[in-house]
């Protein structure tokens, strides 16, 4: 990895710690910083930070010595510092702030298992992390030192998964699955692997970023027994990419685990197209594929991190085409109320007619694409694979002709206007005459 330019840093207060301790993840975890006194040994706190750290009921604070060392002690606006050191801005409420803005708890058939999308689930396996992000989307449950992995809930989750064959992808999250005791992590992975319809397992983790020394060969040897295994890490700023992170990612990649990155768009941290371009390019250098860039959720304590959506679109405009496609994430808004992730971005399709589209590229070059006039939809590739999950087909169900409209709740009632049943209100008039035609061939093959 010597060919990579990333640095290794240690705050002056840790200069005399022997390497065996510094590189030991247990030492890093048990020497985490969480108080005014701890932080004052590394840098001078602002009044706002001191006030927050002295506030009872604050979302948990813990930072590994490794991660705190990446902060520039002279810069109160340091982008890493802002992610992990609380300020009094956390106590400021804002319009639309919610406890569970993504309605995850409402989409949980059993505790800690969120089944929002047709074929995949989010499984919350612990409430603990190596360090805590101030904008945590699950601050309502994360960090509680009394609540960690629950065996009883894990059994309920497994039972649900066994009886739900549509789930082919399980995403382990929390909290951070990689802070679990290695034995428990292995038990989770092996029990999931016993379920035949679970095709892939994913881990969402910030451990490589907060605690890269946790990615030991013992750990990767466990992980690689449970392939296909994918992993998403969480880096928000180029300053987080150190020699240690690069090496941890190299170990994971060599264990055959494809790595992605999920960032959150954060005011004052990475709300700048040039910061973000450097971040995604550096991620690709360490073989991490930028996956999603999230709009900040409407979560308590995160108001001061929020940006307008236009900032995210501006960033996407400055990435697509300007750098490698591999380096460009999707910009996602996780819909409040439980609507799930919605991709947004600049528009490249400017107009269209019945036989051509007008497009623009990243440079502002405007062009036409002439479409075929002899395309035969009925000759499209045949398939023997099942179609989408009934009830969750969305617009594909409409495009494929199984549904003609989707109505808001209460639509029929409001348009009844309290009227009477009369001769012109014959229900058969609203059954589309041609709908579904041409679809039967596919169905026969299911
Ligand atoms: C993000 C998320 C997933 C995974 O979504 P992908 O777009 O497939 O990465 C699954 N379930 C829930 C509840 C999620 O929030």
Task: Please write the tens of the pLDDT for every residue from 13-42.
Answer: 999 999 999 999 999 999 999 999 999 999
pLDDT in tens, 284-302: 999 999 999 999 999 999 9
Verify whether residue 116 is a known catalytic residue.
yes
Instruction: Examine the residue annotation and report whether 214 is marked as an active-site residue of this protein.
Output: no
Strand partners, 407: none
Residues 6+ apart with CB under 8 A from 175: 124, 125, 126, 127, 128, 129, 138, 142, 148
Sign, CA dihedral 409-410-416-417, equals negative
Largest CA-CA distance found in the chain, in angstroms, rounded:
90
Indicate where the chain has its CATH 3.20.20.70 domain(s): 113-238+245-343
**What does the block give as tokens for 422?**
């009369």
| pLDDT interval class at 424 (50, 70, 90) | confident
Distance (Å, whole) CA 211 – CA 175: 14
Which element (helix H / strand E) includes 31? none
Phi-psi domain of 66 (left: phi exceeds 0; alpha: psi -120 through 50; beta: other): alpha
Tell me the CA distances in angstroms from 351 to 159, 365, 366, one per residue in order: 50, 14, 11
Q: What is the mean pLDDT of residues 203-207?
A: 98
DSSP result, 50-74: HHHHT-TTPPP--B-HHHHTTS-TT
Answer yes or no: is pLDDT of 46 > 90.
yes
Q: How does residue 357 score in pLDDT terms, banded at 50, 70 and 90?
A: very high
- Residue 388: pLDDT band by 50, 70, 90 thresholds? confident
Q: Interior CA angle at 77 toward 83 and 46, to 5°?
A: 95
Which of the residue ranges 150-159, 168-177, 362-371, 432-441 would you say has the lowest mean pLDDT? 432-441
Residue 120 CA: nearest ligand 1 atom is 10
Q: Where does ligand 1 bind, in terms of residues with CB under 6 Å? A: 114, 116-117, 120, 122, 171, 341
- Which residue has the CA at smallest separation from atom 2 of ligand 1? 122
Q: Residue 72: beta bridge partners? A: none
Hey, what are 206's tokens? 């910030």
Between CA 54 and CA 63, with CA 57 as vertex, the angle to 5 degrees is 65
Predicted TM-score (pTM) of the model is 0.94
List the catalytic residue out of 38, 100, 129, 134.
Answer: 129
Select 113-238+245-343's CATH number: 3.90.1170.40, 3.20.20.70, 3.40.50.920, 3.40.50.300: 3.20.20.70
Exactly one of 176, 214, 297, 306 is catalytic; which is it? 297
CA angle 216, 222, 225 (to 5 degrees): 140
Residue 445 has pLDDT above 50, yes or no: no
Which atom of ligand 1 is nearest the CA belonging to 122? 11
pLDDT of 443 higher than 90: no
Helix, strand or coil, per DSSP, at residue 97: coil
**Do residues 171 and 122 make contact, with C-beta atoms less than 8 angstroms apart?**
yes
Detail the DSSP E strand segments found in 227-321.
229-233, 259-264, 289-294
- The radius of gyration of the chain from alpha carbons, rounded to an integer in Å, stands at 25
Residue 436 confidence (pLDDT): 54
């Amino acid at each position: 990895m010597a060919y990579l330019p990333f640095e290794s840093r240690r705050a002056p207060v840790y200069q005399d710690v022997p390497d065996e301790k510094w590189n030991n993840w247990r030492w890093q975890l048990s020497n985490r910083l969480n108080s005014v006194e701890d932080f004052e040994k590394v840098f001078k706190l602002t009044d706002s930070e001191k006030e927050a750290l002295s506030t009872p009921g604050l979302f948990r604070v813990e930072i590994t010595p490794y991660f705190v060392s990446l902060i520039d002690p002279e810069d109160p606006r340091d982008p890493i510092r802002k992610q992990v050191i609380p300020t009094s801005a956390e106590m400021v409420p804002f319009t639309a702030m919610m406890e569970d803005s993504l309605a995850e708890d409402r989409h949980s058939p059993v505790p800690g298992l969120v089944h929002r999308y047709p074929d995949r689930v989010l499984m919350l396996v612990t409430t603990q992390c190596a360090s805590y992000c101030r904008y945590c989307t699950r601050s309502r449950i994360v960090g509680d030192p009394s609540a960690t992995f629950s065996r009883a809930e894990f059994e309920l989750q497994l039972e649900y998964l066994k009886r739900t064959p549509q789930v082919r992808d399980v995403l382990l999250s929390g909290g951070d699955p990689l802070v679990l005791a290695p034995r428990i992590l292995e038990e989770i992975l092996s029990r999931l692997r016993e379920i035949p319809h679970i095709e892939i397992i994913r881990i969402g983790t910030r451990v490589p970023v907060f605690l890269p020394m946790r990615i030991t060969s013992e750990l990767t040897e466990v992980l690689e027994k449970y392939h296909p295994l994918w992993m998403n890490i969480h880096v928000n700023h180029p300053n987080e990419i150190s020699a240690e992170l690069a090496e941890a990612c190299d170990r994971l990649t060599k264990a055959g685990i494809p790595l992605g990155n999920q960032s959150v768009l954060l005011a004052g941290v990475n709300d700048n197209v040039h910061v973000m371009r450097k971040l995604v390019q550096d991620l690709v250098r360490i073989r991490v594929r930028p996956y999603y860039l999230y709009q900040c959720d409407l979560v308590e304590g995160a108001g001061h991190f929020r940006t307008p959506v236009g900032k995210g679109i501006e960033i996407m405009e400055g990435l697509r085409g300007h750098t490698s496609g591999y380096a460009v994430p999707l910009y996602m808004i996780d819909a409040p109320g439980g609507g799930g992730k919605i991709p947004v971005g600049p528009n490249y399709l400017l107009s269209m007619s019945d036989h051509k589209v007008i497009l623009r590229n990243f440079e502002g070059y405007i062009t036409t694409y002439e479409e075929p006039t002899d395309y035969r939809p009925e000759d499209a590739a045949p398939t023997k694979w099942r179609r989408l999950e009934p009830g969750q087909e969305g617009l594909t169900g409409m495009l494929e002709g199984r549904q003609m409209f989707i109505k808001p709740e209460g639509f029929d009632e409001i348009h009844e206007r309290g009227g009477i049943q009369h001769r012109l209100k014959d229900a058969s008039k609203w059954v589309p005459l041609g709908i579904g035609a041409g679809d039967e061939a596919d169905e026969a093959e299911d």
